Chains A and B, each alone.
Chain A
């Protein structure tokens, strides 16, 4: 069995590939809840371990980008580990019905709350029916 652990140069050679200078960052998509009220869309995203300064919420060309860097509260290695904090990244495409200038964000207890107000045009209008 021992010789099988030694890399042999015989046989086929795999061509080496280009590498990037930086190792790739790892991201995960945070789970989100999105719900609608008459005036706005509300987005809730779980971002545990992300400090407010390490969160970037960007809205550009109808694309909403959420990017967060998560960090453990202790720097040393755990003696028992069930999870690892990885950076978060997720994008959403917003429709034109969102008033993109009025989006507000709030990060509390590791949950990002985004309020995405609808444009006046998109808000439902109740029309009173006159009964004569």
Chain B
């Protein structure tokens, strides 16, 4: 008997063919690859941030190359951290007809991130390294879990 037409299998075969086509031009991307990693020109949140957490501390790593360190401003209020600053583009002294390419986004930005716990505002540290802004945000005492000893009767 002729094989039944199965749309799922057709789609799977198509997906594989597309994958293979991309593989040949060296663009193979795993399924969870996040493409949104560079500052774009669109009105989206900037800078992009990754949040890490361990027992006592929350860490924020923000993708922000080329910031003017003097303009960089980080402030923390309870649950939220606000990052603002300015990214410089082509100097104003350059005439527009001397510009060959202008792909990098530039300008002023501000972004507020909501954090999972309350932060001890006095112990926050900020570093700017290789174009990544790294914030170390120790959790507030009230937010830390308390270990309760179990009495065995």
Binding site for B on A (CB under 8 A): 4, 10-11, 14, 17, 24, 26, 28, 30-37, 41, 44-51, 72-74, 76-86, 109-111
Contact = CB atoms under 8 A, between A and B. Distances in A.
Q: When A and B form their complex, which 3 residue pairs have the shortest distance between CB atoms, in order from nearest?
A: A110-B131, A110-B65, A48-B131
Contact of A85 (B36, B37, B49): B37
A32 B101 contact: yes
A70 B26 CA distance: 19
A35 B99 contact: yes
B37 A86 contact: yes
Residue in A34, A45, A46, A79 whose Cβ sees the most chain B Cβ within 10 Å: A46
B18 interface: no
Contacts of B61: 72-74, 78
Interface residues of B, number: 51
Interface of B: 3, 6, 8-9, 13, 16, 20, 23, 26, 28-29, 33-34, 36-39, 45, 48-54, 59, 61, 63-67, 69, 89-90, 94, 98-105, 116, 128-132, 134
Contacts, number: 135
Contact of B6 (A4, A31, A44, A111): A4
Given A35-B94, A78-B51, A109 B104 contact: no
Nearest to A110: B131
Contacts of A41: 100
Given A10-B3, A35-B99, A72-B61, 11 more contacts: A24-B26, A28-B37, A36-B99, A46-B65, A46-B131, A48-B130, A78-B52, A83-B63, A110-B65, A110-B66, A111-B66
